[in-house]
Copies of this chain bind each other. A is one copy, B any other.
């Protein structure tokens, strides 16, 4: 499940003002429209992203375009919605807020979108997830081998994009560190599923926290900071942006885990109590297992045949509320990181509204 599902059914916020239609939204004292912000960033990034994808082998490029939601299998235009582009927006807004040249933000956004999409393609293979954004995953649509290749191609393209930029070496250091974390988090997540609910070998909440930071936090931190890195912003600005994205990512992951158990299947597109059926070791469960009700819960989970009773028990044990409180504390850390930055006013307003929009369902 992706972090973006948090905002999956949040309603469109009001109508565009004249100022918004001009481009950047939310002047001083005026709340920015997050939909407009996302749209503005997608419009800024799309030409460079399309140009990069256009350099791929045509068959590989089609798989990439399918993954981005630009076409159907065979290349026909699609009616499928693409991703909202949270990461590319973070990259653009982070660079704008840090006051670096616009090209740095766009290049960072392209690299981050390519890496994010590469990781989705490969993660869907590893996790056996047949659907992505309500369409067949690339490996289901094109085959496992081709999906491996398309992911590799997107990864190589991200490296190529950064290598061609001023500040590219620093950018590569930031991106490769995030990728190292991403792989580490994915490895732990894969290994967690084979571990028991109780006993010495059980997954501890702190192991989950490290996994979530690696798997989701690192790339969002990199997304927020990468434009500033490329543009040569001050180290404390880069650090604050990275921290902001990282805490946002962890909050996303926890909120997704809550949705994975209690989310409305009509919204999440996943079966009710889906994560419990798949025996996923997520934070609400791990916290509940550490509570006085943990023994009963473990028995129930091991039997595997009453996910609704298990969900209820996790809630009674305080797993749901403790997880949500933890997500909220990460959002408070996002606010702290935001407050400490030398913001360029327009970008700050847009970023604040966007973050509010993304986390509305959790706070």
Interface, chain A (partner B; CB < 8 A): 55-57, 59-60, 122, 125-128, 144-146, 148-149, 151-153, 155-157, 159-160, 162-164, 168-169, 172-173, 175-177, 179-180, 182-184, 186-188, 190-191
> Does B162 contact A172, Cβ atoms closer than 8 Å?
yes
Taking a contact as CB atoms closer than 8 A, the residue among B126, B127, B148, B175 that contacts A126 in the complex is B148
Q: Which residues of B contact A162 (CB under 8 A)?
A: 172
A175, closest chain B residue (CB): B159
> Does A153 contact B59, Cβ atoms closer than 8 Å?
no
> Does A176 contact B159, Cβ atoms closer than 8 Å?
yes
Contact residues of A: prevailing secondary structure: helix
- 11 inter-chain pairs at a CB distance below 8 angstroms, sorted by A residue, are A57-B184, A122-B149, A125-B144, A126-B146, A149-B183, A151-B152, A156-B179, A159-B176, A160-B179, A160-B180, A164-B173
A110 nearest CB across to chain B (Å): 14
Complex alpha-carbon distance, A298 and B192, angstroms: 52
Complex alpha-carbon distance, A151 and B151, angstroms: 11
Known contacts A169-B169, A187-B60; is A176 also within 8 Å of B149 by CB? Answer: no
A119 nearest CB across to chain B (Å): 8
A187 nearest CB across to chain B (Å): 4
Among A60, A149, A175, A190, which residue has the most Cβ atoms of chain B within 10 A? A149
Complex alpha-carbon distance, A125 and B152, angstroms: 13
A335 nearest CB across to chain B (Å): 31
A233 nearest CB across to chain B (Å): 18
> Does B160 contact A176, Cβ atoms closer than 8 Å?
yes
> Does A125 contact B153, Cβ atoms closer than 8 Å?
no
Complex alpha-carbon distance, A163 and B169, angstroms: 6
Q: Which residues of B contact A190 (CB under 8 A)?
A: 145-146, 149
> Does A191 contact B126, Cβ atoms closer than 8 Å?
no
Q: Which residues of B contact A169 (CB under 8 A)?
A: 163, 168-169, 172
Complex alpha-carbon distance, A190 and B153, angstroms: 14
